[in-house]
Structure 1
Amino acid sequence: MTAELRYADADLRRILKEVKTIAMVGASMNEMRPSYFAMLYLQGKGFRIIPVNPRYAGQTLLGETVYPDLASLPLVPDMVDIFRRSEDAPPIVDEAIRIGAKVVWMQLGVRHDEAAAKAEAAGLTVVMDRCPKIEYGRLFGEIGWMGVNRGMISSKKGQAMQLSKFRAKP
């Protein structure tokens, strides 16, 4: 039986405050894929996201050059975000250790306890089965009791108004 993963909100908040660059392994050019939306969202929050995917190496994704692997990156990212299957995590974690990343973050549904233990033994912080986009929204007040910040206001159920209707026009 696998132990439940628990992370203190303070630890996740600290990670998301300290990290500036994220290498997103498994980033997709497909706008319908979760990795694309997570990259777009996190860029909007000020993170530099460097896409890593050998299928798209050399192409541009959301303004960033796509690299084939972590070893090819022009800089050491603070965090490696793994958008791959759990069984694909160990070599990515090994590469994250080799390049000197500080954090390995495995996306929702991605968990590999042995790879995590290896990364922690090498001094990296590890988060598994979580999404930095979701955690950022939850921890920094963008997800309310309705589930998301929709940019709408209302005092009555079912009568939300788009905030953009009230913004001054240039």
Structure 2
Amino acid sequence: MNHDAYPDFYISDILKSTKTIALVGASPNPERPSHRVMAFLLRKGYTVFPVNPGQAGKEIQGRKVYARLADIPEAIDMVDVFRAAHALPALVDEILALQVRPKVIWGQLSVRDDQAAAKAEEQGIKVVMDRCPAIEYPRLVG
């Protein structure tokens, strides 16, 4: 897929069909974008699992924090990535090693690696990069 632009229906379908989200790089700091986006997603009714090894076992916004994706006790629909773009290839490998894979990998603003995306897409996982669901949701879902 060309990740320079996405059809609105592609993003809209993902946001409407997603119920559970692993938010990788979740922060307990209210000033951090990941904290604000997590709050937004929770307000919109998504079940969000924060992932941050340095915060594992604690809570962020009332949700238990997990050290890694494999620790999350239920299937997730989407992995929302708040990490530097250079971390995306290793994260895709972690995702591909899961017994139950998510349907979507979503790279936040500036999180883009076309090779990592191609690897995930070859395995049937949809990819969105350099976008924010807290921006796209109001624009496309309401």
Q: Could you report, residue by residue, the CA deviation over 1:51-107 in whole angstroms, capped at 9, with x for unpaired residues?
A: 000010000111110000111111121000110000011111111222211100000
**Letter of the structure 2 residue corresponding to residue 122 of structure 1:** Q
* Kept in 1: contact 2:3–2:129 (CA 8 A): no
Q: Distance in 2 between matches of 1:126 and 1:40?
A: 22
Query: Secondary structure of the residue that 2:102 maps to in structure 1?
Result: coil
After TM superposition, list the pairs within 5 Å mapping 1:78-157 onto structure 2: 78-99=77-98, 100-141=101-142
| In structure 2, distance between residues paired with 1:4 and 1:102 | 17
Structure 1 residues 65 and 4 mapped into 2: Cα distance closer, same or farther (>3 Å)? Answer: closer
Deviations 1:109-137 (A, max 9, x none): 01011100000001000000000111001
Q: Which residue of 2 aligns with 1:15?
A: 14
TM-score (norm 1): 0.79
Query: How big is the alpha-carbon RMSD for the aligned residues of Structure 1 and Structure 2?
Result: 1.1
- Name the CA distance, whole Å, in 2 between partners of 1:51 and 1:41: 13
Give the C-alpha shift of residue 4 in structure 1. 6.2
Q: Flag the structure with larger Rg.
A: 1
The one-letter code matched in structure 2 to 1:110 is V
Moved over 3 A (4+): none
In structure 1, the residue matched to 2:72 is: 73
- Alignment gaps of 5+ in structure 2: none
Q: Structure 1 unaligned runs (5+)?
A: 142-170
Looking at both structures, which has the greater relative contact order when contacts are Cα pairs under 8 Å and sequence separation is at least 6?
Answer: 2
Distance in 2, Cα, partners of 1:14 & 1:32 = 30
2:61 corresponds to: 62
